[in-house]
A = this chain, B = another copy of it.
Amino acid sequence: MAHINQNFEKLPGSYLFAEIARRTAEYKEAHPDADIIRLGIGDVTLPLIPAVRQAMHEAVDEQADAATFKGYGPYEGYDFLREAIAEHDFAARGVDVEPNEIFISDGAKSDCGNIVDLFALENKVAVCDPVYPVYVDSNALAGRAGEYDVDAEMWTDIYYMPTTAENGFCPALPLEDVDLIYLCSPNNPTGTVLTHDQLKMWVDYANDHDAIILFDAAYERFITEEGALHSIYEVEGAKSCAIEFRSFSKTAGFTGMRCGCTVIPECLVRQGQSLNEMWMRRQSTKFNGASYIIQKGAAAIYTPEGHRQVEESLDYYRENARVIKEGLEDAGLEVYGAVNSPYVWCKTPGGMDSWTFFGKLLDEAQVVTTPGAGFGPAGEGYIRLTAFGDAEQTKEALRRIKAIL
Flag if A256 contacts B212 (CB, 8 Å).
no
Interface 9-residue window, one of A28-36, A133-141, A164-172, A318-326: A133-141
Interface size class of A (residues with CB under 8 A): 35 or more
Flag if A47 contacts B71 (CB, 8 Å).
no
Chain A positions 43-80 with a Cβ under 8 Å from a chain B Cβ: 43-48, 50, 52-53, 56-57, 60-61, 63-66, 69-73
Flag if A288 contacts B56 (CB, 8 Å).
no
Tell which of B70, B133, B270, B286 touches A256, judged by Cβ atoms closer than 8 Å.
Answer: B70
Flag if B2 contacts A211 (CB, 8 Å).
yes
Flag if A118 contacts B45 (CB, 8 Å).
no
Flag if A293 contacts B56 (CB, 8 Å).
yes
A50 and B61 CA atoms in complex are apart in Å by: 10
Chain B residue at smallest Cβ distance from A277: B8
Tell me if A152 is interfacial: C-beta within 8 Å of chain B: no
Per-residue CB contact flags for chain A residues 172-204 toward chain B (1 = under 8 Å, else 0) read 000001011000000000000000000000000
Flag if B3 contacts A270 (CB, 8 Å).
yes
Tell which of B9, B63, B212 touches A53, judged by Cβ atoms closer than 8 Å.
Answer: B63
Flag if A2 contacts B257 (CB, 8 Å).
no
Chain B residue at smallest Cβ distance from A269: B4
Copies in the complex: 2
Q: With a 10 A CB-CB cut-off, give which of A43, A270, A271, A291 has the most chain B CB atoms.
A: A291
A287 and B105 CA atoms in complex are apart in Å by: 11
> Are A286 and B109 CB-contacts (below 8 A) given A47-B65, A60-B56?
yes
Tell which of B52, B118, B287 touches A109, judged by Cβ atoms closer than 8 Å.
Answer: B287
Flag if A257 contacts B109 (CB, 8 Å).
no
Chain B residue at smallest Cβ distance from A179: B2
A292 and B297 CA atoms in complex are apart in Å by: 13
Chain B residue at smallest Cβ distance from A119: B5
> Are A293 and B294 CB-contacts (below 8 A) given A1-B209, A48-B64, A114-B286?
yes
Chain A positions 90-138 with a Cβ under 8 Å from a chain B Cβ: 106-107, 109-110, 113-114, 117-120, 122-123, 133-134, 137-138
Flag if B119 contacts A3 (CB, 8 Å).
yes
> Are A278 and B8 CB-contacts (below 8 A) given A71-B256, A285-B134?
yes
Jot down 24 A-B pairs with beta carbons below 8 A, ordered by A. Answer: A1-B211, A2-B210, A4-B273, A5-B120, A8-B273, A8-B282, A43-B71, A43-B72, A47-B63, A47-B66, A48-B64, A57-B57, A69-B253, A72-B256, A106-B287, A106-B290, A110-B287, A117-B141, A138-B285, A257-B291, A258-B288, A258-B290, A291-B291, A291-B294
The 3 closest A-B pairs by CB, nearest first: A113-B286, A3-B120, A70-B256
Other than the given A8-B282, A113-B286, 12 more pairs (CB < 8 A) read A1-B209, A1-B211, A3-B271, A4-B275, A5-B119, A5-B278, A47-B63, A47-B64, A69-B253, A69-B256, A72-B256, A138-B285
